Amino acid sequence: MSDKPYRILGIQQIAIGGPDKQALRRLWVDVLGLSVTGQFTSERENVDEDICTIGSGPHRVEVDLMQPLDPDKKPAVHATPLNHVGLWVDDLPKAVEWMTAHGVRFAPGGIRKGAAGFDICFIHPKSNDEFPIGGEGVLIELVQAPPDVIAALG
């Protein structure tokens, strides 16, 4: 593909779903020692999540522990244990524009504020006829990197 007007800088997060986030906390917080740095609840996203972190500064990686608000509703954040992977990107609008023009399928919702306060959007896990490039079964979150992350990882 041609020169891209954006760069993927590194891993921003991984999101892990389960029916009970307390069980996830026992491993990720109590055993592995990650710090809980936030909490996010969204009816629209059907999620109750603890935002945990490992590392510091621009090298910090988020690990989101998620359970559904209603296990019978969509999105089913607990249906796939590894729910999604988040990637830092230096220019999210340019990345979305370029990727769309090159056949990447995005999930509904467009660019919006994410749980951690950064602008985000999602590459759909499945391609279709109109957009032949998808995540091949993996939901991928693109996250606008703040200036300190761009400086450190760019």
Can you list the domains of the chain with their CATH numbers?
8-153 (3.10.180.10)
First to last CA, the chain: 21
Instruction: State the residue for tokens 């800088």.
Output: 9
Q: What mean pLDDT is predicted for residues 32-55?
A: 94
Tell me: the pLDDT tens digits for 56-98? 898 899 999 999 999 999 999 998 888 899 999 999 999 999 9
Residue 2 tokens, joined: 């041609």
Average pLDDT, the chain: 93
Q: What is the pLDDT of residues 135-145, one digit of tens each?
A: 888 899 999 99
Most distant CA pair in the chain, distance:
46
- On the 0-12 / 13-18 / 19+ scale of CB atoms within 10 A, 89 is buried
